Amino acid sequence: MSADNQLTRVQRDDLRTIAGMIVPASDEYKVPGADDPAIQADMLATLGRDTKLVAAALDHLARLAGQPLAELDAARRDAVAQEFRSSGGAAAATLVRIVLQCYYRDDRVLRSLGLELRAPFPKGYVLPDGDWSLLDPVKERAGTLRRAT
């Protein structure tokens, strides 16, 4: 890591590559991959308290790959990614979580999922009251509360 507690250029490159492996772009679903520049920018801007663990995860990834991840052939890259996920512990889990939490708040992704682009408050959501006659069998069956004596 550089002195200002940000990721180095090499780490950023590997983050982009691994993010694209976790969630690649899809023409079918009309969504970008997690290596999309805007999503990457969101990750870097909001790493915050997770910076240290993500950097540790990327260091672990770099050790496994031995060179920039993007430069490996596809088979080797997949093998490194699998090893990274299985041996990376809390640091790898944090990196994956950062990738997913930034990916699944991107407007294009939420739109593709049919979700509204807004915070829950203040509009909230409508919840159907449902058919409470479903409870009738429970009422009919009744039961007895266990006595204390």
**Minimum CB distance to another protein smaller for 12 or for 77:** 77
Residue 25 CA: distances (Å) to CA of 52, 93, 115: 27, 21, 19
Q: Which is nearer to another protein, 9 or 130 (CB)?
A: 130
The contact mask relative to another protein for 24-43 (x = CB under 8 A, - = no) is: x-x-xx-x------------
Secondary structure, 3-state, the chain: CCCCCCCCHHHHHHHHHHHHHHCCCECCCCECCCCCHHHHHHHHHHCHHHHHHHHHHHHHHHHHHCCCHHHCCHHHHHHHHHHHHHHCHHHHHHHHHHHHHHHCCCHHHHHHCCCCCCCCCCCCCCCCCCCHHHHHHHHHHCCCCCCCC
Binding mask 107-126 for another protein (x = CB under 8 A): ---x--x-x-xxxxxxxxxx
55 contacts another protein (rule: CB under 8 A): no
Site string for another protein, 56-95 (x = CB under 8 A): -------------------------x---x-------x--
Asked if residue 4 binds another protein (CB under 8 A), the reply is no
- Return residues touching another protein (CB under 8 A): 21-24, 26, 28-29, 31, 46, 48-50, 81, 85, 93, 96-97, 100-105, 110, 113, 115, 117-132, 134-135, 137-139, 141-149
